[in-house]
Amino acid sequence: MANNRLGRINEEIMRELSTIIRTLKDPRVSGAMVSITRVEATPDMRYAKVYVSVLGDNSALKDCIRGLKSASGYLRRELSSRLTLRYTPELTFSPDDSITYGAHIMELLEGLDKKED
C-alpha cells in the first residue's frame, strides 16, 4: 500500500514540476525543450531524484541540468506551496537519455529490416 502512495506522489511531483519549469526565466532552461521523464522519491520523502530529458544535443542537456540545479530552491518552494506534503523533498536532477537510446534502437531495427529485404 505504501508503494502505491509513493507512486502517486511521484506522479504529482512530476506533473507539478513540469508546470513550474515552464515559468523559469533562466535562459539555460527556458531556451530548451525540457521534459521530466520520471521522479523517484525516497520512502521517507526527504529526497527526490528527477530525471530530465532535453530535445537537442548533449551540451544543451548539461546546461539545462546546471540551470535546474541553480533553481532547485525556487522549485522546491513552489512545489511545497502546490502540494500538501509533510516534507517537501530535496530535488536532485539527473539526465535521462532513454529517448535517445530508444531512437538508437529504432535505427538499428530499421537497419535489420532493410538487410532482410
60-70 tens-digit pLDDT: 888 999 999 99
How high is the pLDDT of residue 50?
95
7 vs 4: CA distance, rounded Å: 5
Structural domain tally of the chain? 1
User: What pLDDT, in 10s, does the model give residues 22-56?
Assistant: 988 988 888 778 889 999 999 998 999 999 988 87
User: What pLDDT, in 10s, does the model give residues 81-108?
Assistant: 999 888 899 999 999 877 778 888 988 8
- Domain span including residue 76: 2-116
> CA-based angle 55:57:62, to the nearest 5?
90
CATH at 60: 3.30.300.20
